[in-house]
Structure 1
Amino acid sequence: MAVIDLTHGAALLLRWAGTDPVAERTARARVAGALRTGAQPPPPAPGPLRGAVVTTAARALDDLAAAPVRQVPANGPRPVVLLLPGQGAQYNGMATGLYRDEPVFRAAVDAALAEWGAEGEAIRADWLGTGAGPGIPIDDAPRAQPLLFAVDHGLGRLLLSWGITPDEALGHSAGEVVAATLAGVFTVPDAVALVRGRVHASARIPPGGMLAVAAAVDELRPYLTGQVAVAAVNAGRRTVLAGPSAELAAVAARLARDGMALRPVPATSPFHSPAMQPAVRAAESAFRARPRPPRFPVRSGYTRQLLTPAEAASARFWARQLADTVHFGPALTSLLDGGDRLLIECGPGRDLSALAFQQHAVRAGKSAVLSMLPGGRSDRAAVLEVAAALWREGHDLVPDGPMACR
């Protein structure tokens, strides 16, 4: 196990626990004593009174002293659910700091991109800023989809490496393939082949786009003309439209004139609209995966139900997702109806976290949501905050994790 380096400003995680207040204070004092001598803090013994803090060497003792503790509920911690984002979550430089700092994440990303061959090498160089060329625009599907799969999968593998077994996984759009892969339904090679088939099929579709509108589906029906359709139902008044460029621009102009709040979604293809039907047929013929039983349940954002063995093995099921409407909001509602959950967004940004906050169970504090890469701080600090929250919640982390810190 690596010794914590107290000589630089990198984020580090400190955690401790006790069976009662006296034991908790004693455990906290042991951590403080190790910090004063530069030694590795002792491994925390599980207990119902738990504390954790993400800090730096310069602030460690002060932050440790001020950190609150949490009582683990008698009935145990809330089960963990993974949320995997899809197209639109990507941004330049996402997770590059984590790629540099975290071997588990880096290995998972490298394994996924390696399946793309020379194309994957170019995507990685472009992503890390080490390529010589001008790069591929990040919102284009040939760039966004492989990289989002690699980053989402890498974050999920990192979380699983901490000893966390999810109760369920739910992906948004392309994130559903990642959810199935993390659950063991697909191997990484099979998943990448599936993504590749969908990306190459989509590349033949004329340019289009996607538009997020702050309105309910019924309010938007009068605006749906031609091949413009409802692409995603994310919450009560969070709907995404998609369609060919000219048709979508005309709809956007009408919506704006009528005072609707809208914004473009980072995409250059009309995903989840009838314009994608030719790509569905091509992607279906390219499907070669051999699905296996999941290690934990996967909820489909298209059917709102748990993924069935027949669906997992169906080329049509995975191909038609290019044109089908995503029902992420209703799927998440169905998931939360099953009990309180700790939702963790395993992907860049906070798009799915923001949608989760639209759910009554989250607003009421019964369920909670965490983001692994919310932005605004270092990648390392962000993922360690998730680890800290999991520990305080009552989930036991493996001794060497996360990120070889106590």
Structure 2
Amino acid sequence: MSLTSSSAVVRRLVVSPGHAPSPAEPQRLVATPAALSAVLRAFGRPLDRLPVRTAVYIGGPARELPSVHEGFTIRTERSPGRALRRAARELHDGTTDLAIVAGFAEPDPGTITVHAVRRAAEAVADSERIIGLLDLTTGGPDDLPPVRPLSHGHRETGPDRHRLLLWSGRDERDEARVRGELLSVLDGSHSEAFPALPTAVPCGTPPGPVRGAAVTVSALAAASVHKAQPVRTGRPRQIALLFPGQGSQHTGMATGLYRRDPVFTAAVDAVFAHMGEEGRRVREDWLTPGPPRIPVDDVRRAQPLLFAVDYALGRLVLSWGVRPAALLGHSAGELVAATLAGVVSLGDAVSMVMSRVREAVRIPEGGMLAVAASEERLSPYLTGEVVVAAVNAAQQVMLAGPAAPLAEVRERLRADGLTVVDVPASSPFHSPAMAPAAEQVEADYRRIPLREPVLPLYSGYTGTLMGAQEALDPRFWARQITDTVRFKDALEELLAIEDVLLIEAGPRQTLTAFARRHRAVRLGASAAAPLLPARPGTGEADRQSVLTAAARIWTEGHDLDMRAVSGLWTWSADRARTSAALAGVPG
């Protein structure tokens, strides 16, 4: 089921900003600027880390309140119930990203009850601790809406579904003992109990440095555990996430995770919700078997869908407890990386994607070529219209330009014996042909608030770590559709800082292949692993591939949130139910 019509309460507490009134002469607390400051700081979070579109909703008596306080919009209603209901409406029309709702003189005359409320799908995608969902279907406008428990999906018990088995020991001998105990449990368990077995053994103790992992189904579990090679972990390499761009998409990509993992599903739904009616059409083309109404390689499908899948995969990895040391996106993937790094809110990032798409379709048809050659080798083939679009590796360069000139260059390259592959793209991204689109996109981006990244973010356009000057510049983001992608340089700088485990959060393993050509990866100092299969396959293949990546992170020496990881085989949205028609959420 979709959570996109619901509002989630993620924090709730009672604030006493001053001395309690005398029981003999109770005095109702009134909203004042000083009280607003107490409300804003109630959750102990730095104000500059609250979403840009945070609003404070006051319910109850107020006195001389400004419309803006400490940079945040203030809205007033005569009762806490009205304030909560207004907050829910404005969350879902995009006015607000975080609603701090303060009920003054609630529950006592001298206290304030404060709720932090978010769009439910985004709260689930962010792995927030959700108290419950607001039920807006009952009571009058002044009544406080009840908070119902979150019921998102149901328990899955299919033994033929791939799952992850993890174990560890203090040393090799202890690992062998633990593995033996796990094998005895597997031999003695009925297949129906297989999904419910603990994710990691031994239970209740910190993981040891000698680790094993198996991705398997019930019938093959014992054999898989027996054959798995134990790994002695040392100091684990930090994890960096890679996000691919257009050209990596394919029909049905990652559909095996949708409605089969709660975080991935909620994140995709949240992205599509921000796209409005177009999001419904993109989702339908993605999930419906058979030819789509608009082909997946068309920019109108490729970029919105890639953003949704890349973003949801990134959120999935973060839900496992992974905190990346760096983020790097290729082309359109850089906007996904920026969203996860806090440069732009999810809703604004989706607006940026849709602006790119809207302007790109107005540009005459063009395309892109992948050529197995160096940038220097290709210099004689370039024209004023056909240019280097991306430098991905020492011998992997992409060219772009309008259709007719690009076709001429393609024939010249092939005639000279170079290997050339057409990139699945219908627009000449990263070429001068996109300049008119970039001008309009920049005008759109000037209305979007930008922030400095809170995670290290490497840019494929500067080839280095992104600083405030780039992150806060609308022109920098707009010119990305005309400028050359320097992925090779950005990856070079990232891997020069420290040895890392690169995880590609996107389809087709394109960036994994580029990374494996890098000297640091070839020599084993760093490593690269994909989340999704290299080519289209079954839904079960998608889940098996993601679990294999989780196993790789575990054997690297990182600890995982076992409950979150287990969602891939214990959760399903099929037949999902929620409490009595919560806010009209569709099933």
Q: Normalized against structure 1, the TM-score is what?
A: 0.95
Report if aligned partners of 1:140, 1:267 keep a CA contact under 8 Å in 2.
yes
Structure 2 equivalent of residue 14 of structure 1: 165
Q: Deviations over 1:108-141 (max 9, x none)?
A: 011001111110100100100169x851111111
Structure 2 equivalent of residue 40 of structure 1: 197
- DSSP-derived class of the 1:390 partner: helix
Aligned: 1:57 with 2:215: no
1:7-406 maps to which residues of 2 (within 5 A)?
8-35=159-186, 36-37=188-189, 38=193, 40-41=197-198, 43-44=200-201, 45-73=206-234, 76-129=235-288, 134-287=292-445, 288-375=447-534, 378-404=541-567
Q: Deviations over 1:11-59 (max 9, x none)?
A: 1100011112232223223433443323523644311111111011001
Q: Deviations over 1:157-195 (max 9, x none)?
A: 000000000000100000000011112222110110111
Report if aligned partners of 1:348, 1:373 keep a CA contact under 8 Å in 2.
yes
Output the CA distance in 1 between the equivalents of 2:174 and 2:450: 48
- CA RMSD across the alignment: 1.9
Report if aligned partners of 1:30, 1:42 keep a CA contact under 8 Å in 2.
no
Tell me which of the two structures has the higher relative contact order, counting C-alpha pairs closer than 8 angstroms and 6 or more residues apart. 1
Output the CA distance in 2 between the equivalents of 1:146 and 1:243: 22
1:294 positional shift: 2.7
- DSSP-derived class of the 2:505 partner: strand
Report if aligned partners of 2:442, 2:474 keep a CA contact under 8 Å in 1.
yes
Distance 1:32 1:41, change over 3 A: farther
The amino acid that maps onto 2:556 is E
Report if aligned partners of 2:452, 2:467 keep a CA contact under 8 Å in 1.
no
Distance 1:134 1:216, change over 3 A: closer
The amino acid that maps onto 1:52 is A
Q: Deviations over 1:246-303 (max 9, x none)?
A: 0100111111111111010000000000101101101000013222343321100110
Report if aligned partners of 1:31, 1:41 keep a CA contact under 8 Å in 2.
no
Output the CA distance in 2 between the equivalents of 1:66 and 1:232: 42
The amino acid that maps onto 2:318 is L
Output the CA distance in 2 between the equivalents of 1:145 and 1:42: 35
**Which structure carries more helix by proportion?**
1
Q: Deviations over 1:228-263 (max 9, x none)?
A: 100000111111000000010011111111111101
Output the CA distance in 2 between the equivalents of 1:42 and 1:142: 40
1:225 positional shift: 1.4
Output the CA distance in 1 between the equivalents of 2:171 and 2:272: 48
Output the CA distance in 1 between the equivalents of 2:323 and 2:315: 11
The amino acid that maps onto 1:81 is A
The amino acid that maps onto 2:214 is V
For structure 1, which runs of at least 5 residues remain unmatched after alignment? Answer: none
1:219 positional shift: 1.3
Q: Structure 1 residues 391-400 or 369-378, which shifts more?
A: 369-378
Q: Structure 1 residues 199-208 or 372-381, which shifts more?
A: 372-381
Output the CA distance in 2 between the equivalents of 1:275 and 1:375: 31
